[in-house]
Amino acid sequence: MTPAEVWLSYAGRVEQSILDDLKRRTESSSPTFLTVQDVRGESETPVEIIRALLDDLVAAGALEVRQHQRCPGCQQDLSAQAIEALRCSCGEVFVDDQLPQPVRVYVREGTPTRDVRWAITLHGMNTAGVWQQDFSWRLAQAFRYSIPVGLYKYGNVKFAPFLVLLRMRHRRRFVAYFKKVRKEMIAAGFGAVPDVIAHSFGTWLLSRVLASDDSEDPIRVGRVILTGSIVRPDFDWRDLIRRGRLEAVLCHVASRDLPARLAHWGIRGTGPSSVRGFNDRTCVQHAVSSAFGHSDYFTEANMEQVIQEVWVPFLTRTVGVVEGQRSAAGVPWAPSMMRYLTLGVTYFAVVAVGMLILLAICYVMMSVYQLVAG
């Protein structure tokens, strides 16, 4: 049976939207990673028919099928050695008769033209970056080989984006982390240049580090994916590319990203690039998800599709506008003069809150001292 015969065989038995999506995936050069539930979605088509359709596509050579077992602790795919030892590399321990259940996965390798050697992820403020673990697992599944992913954690920050000294400290810490991990990756044979996926405050942190690291051995990265970006839309990525500090940039626009839209008014040196995109439409690639909010890239409903259809093609194809990615609409962005007023109000509020916290601490300490002395 050929793929064309499969489509004819299931016409009328499976919703046409499902058939169209599968046909597009199997004819695309992008890698595909699917389960029966992924394909079925909200459809009322019986699971058995979806499974039979996928199995027929395997028989027709359009897909391959594999069994995967995910560690419930780190969400990484378990190796044969981990299963035999009943212990994941993250430290999770299993009981022989309670191993994670195998999941049947349908895969199409695609035709990548660029290797992804290793990557670093940076999360945003007011979060611990839970998405980073899920992303690293899904990225490994997309490429069919293990990709070291550094999960840079700077904590659930509150005031750092507002205060210059704290921002400088985070920049120094990231540079130290990057150079430490880079040394380890070079020693392990993975090379010195990672790709980077950053979100929210992580996008600002990455941009400032790349622009300001003037050491003898500065940070250099490969492909950069910006999500929930608060980098100013007039940021000069072209100069960084010209200087060899990075290879290419993809800004994944989320049209309903309210935090990124407001950042410019309250945090100095930021801008709404997650909503507007960057002024340079030729140097920076843009993908637009008009229904997304600030963190919707990382929801269970969206992450797999985002990785497979947007991020993996950008990471693996030759530099150039990838099919399905388009420029963000809008006129070139310029900072508003009104921001000086809102920035003043914001920083006054931050200082006031800090003073109240300090007074509260002093009051508690004095009260404790009086109790002890009395």
The domain segmentation of the chain, as residue ranges, is 1-111, 113-352
Task: Please say whether the beta carbons of 160 and 235 come within 8 A.
Answer: no
**Mean pLDDT on 267-276:** 85
Confidence of residue 52 (pLDDT cuts 50, 70, 90): very high
Cα–Cα distance, 297 to 199 (Å, whole number): 10
Q: What is the pLDDT of residue 321?
A: 42
Q: CATH assignment of 1-111, given 3.30.870, 2.60.40, 1.10.10, 1.10.3470?
A: 1.10.10
Cα–Cα distance, 288 to 286 (Å, whole number): 6
What are 343-360's pLDDT values in tens digits? Answer: 555 555 656 666 777 777
Question: 39-46, long-range: CB within 8 Å, 24+ apart, which pairs?
Answer: 43/14, 43/15, 43/18, 45/13, 45/14, 45/15, 45/18
Residue in 119, 126, 153 with CA at minimum distance from that of residue 311: 119
What are 95-143's pLDDT values in tens digits? Answer: 777 777 777 888 887 666 678 889 999 876 655 556 777 777 777 776 6
Q: What is the pLDDT of residue 206?
A: 93
Q: What is the mean pLDDT of the chain?
A: 80
Instruction: Quote the percentage of the chain above a pLDDT of 90.
Output: 24
Q: What is the pLDDT of residue 81?
A: 72
Burial of 111 (0-12, 13-18, 19+ CB in 10 A): exposed
What are 187-242's pLDDT values in tens digits? Answer: 998 999 999 999 988 898 899 999 988 888 899 999 999 999 999 999 999 999 98
83 pLDDT exceeds 60?
yes
Q: How far apart are the first and last CA of the chain?
A: 90
What are 61-70's pLDDT values in tens digits? Answer: 888 888 777 7
What are 301-344's pLDDT values in tens digits? Answer: 888 888 888 898 888 876 554 433 444 445 677 776 666 566 55
What DSSP line would sit under 339-370, residue for residue? HHHHHHHHHHHHHHHHHHHHHHHHHHHHHHHH
7 phi and psi angles, rounded to 5 deg: -60, -40
Q: What is the pLDDT of residue 346?
A: 59
Residue 253 is inside which H or E element, if any?
A: strand 248-254
Amino acid at 118: W
Higher pLDDT, residue 163 or 272? 272
Q: CATH for 113-352? A: 3.40.50.1820
What are 137-164's pLDDT values in tens digits? Answer: 777 776 666 788 888 876 555 544 545 5
C-beta neighbour count of 83 within 10 angstroms:
16
